[in-house]
Amino acid sequence: MTPTPTATLVARDWAEIQERMLVPLYEAVYDRLEVGPGDRLLGLDCGSGLALLLAAGRGAAATGVEADPARRALARERLLEVVPAPPAGARPYDVLLAFSPSAAALGAALPAVRRGGAVVLADWGPAERCTVPAVLGGGPAPQDLDAAVSDAGLCPDGSGRVFCPFGYADVDSAVRGLLSTGLYESSSDAAQVEKELTEALHPYERPDGTVWLPNIFRYVIARVP
């Protein structure tokens, strides 16, 4: 499938503006798990692959799963191995990154993880500590990550919180970055969404024109029994 021009632009906004906002989360998880040479990592819904690049930079062998053709194409431009669905028959992975997955997506990917392998789930933290969902009205309520671990039959193995501020050069960049997350796709009136988002961002605009949106993300680590 060839991505549409619009889809390609949105994917580039994600890759060039938004994706880097989650680097503190990725790094905290990799530090906690001591990801390094010899580890095999599978990233579910990996976007344009920044999390994979960071893992590869630590010496891990990283593979991504991304259904969106435009984001998958950008990841492959980074010389990353990214596939549209979890690989079958491959040697089991040591780590599965499954940030905000559906139960079905998580269930489909778990067979690729070895027994004792780590599964990492993550989502927004407390509403009062997250500017984007609490103030800007983006996306559903955070998942109950502990319940997701239990429902998947996994063994809890710790959790943590990470400060992930979303910082942008200006309001236009903030709007483009936030729209690229897919949090606002439920509305059929794209122009109205952009207008409302621009207005909502003004209180977070600094005197120099930059935009600063503090957020906390929570992650949990579980093990495959």
pLDDT single digits (tens) 3-60:
665 888 999 999 999 999 999 999 999 999 999 999 999 999 999 999 999 999 999 9
Let me know the angle formed at the C-alpha of 145 by 140 and 149, rounded to the nearest 5 degrees: 135
| pTM (2 d.p.) | 0.92
How far apart are alpha carbons 165 and 161 in whole angstroms? 13
How far apart are alpha carbons 52 and 106 in whole angstroms? 18
Mean pLDDT of 176-201: 85
For residue 2, is pLDDT > 60? no
Q: Which residues contact 75 (CB under 8 A, 6 or more apart)?
A: 46, 47, 48, 49, 52, 64, 66, 82
Average pLDDT, the chain: 90
Q: Are strands 81-83 and 61-65 parallel, antiparallel or unpaired?
A: parallel
CA nearest 177: which of 66, 36, 19, 6?
A: 19
For residue 1, is pLDDT > 70? no
Mean pLDDT of 146-160: 96
pLDDT at position 187: 63
pLDDT at position 133: 79
For residue 113, is pLDDT > 90? yes
pLDDT at position 99: 86
The percent of residues above 70 in pLDDT, for the chain, comes to 92
Mean pLDDT of 112-136: 89
- Residue 136 per-residue DSSP state: S
For residue 202, is pLDDT > 90? yes
How far apart are alpha carbons 73 and 25 in whole angstroms? 24
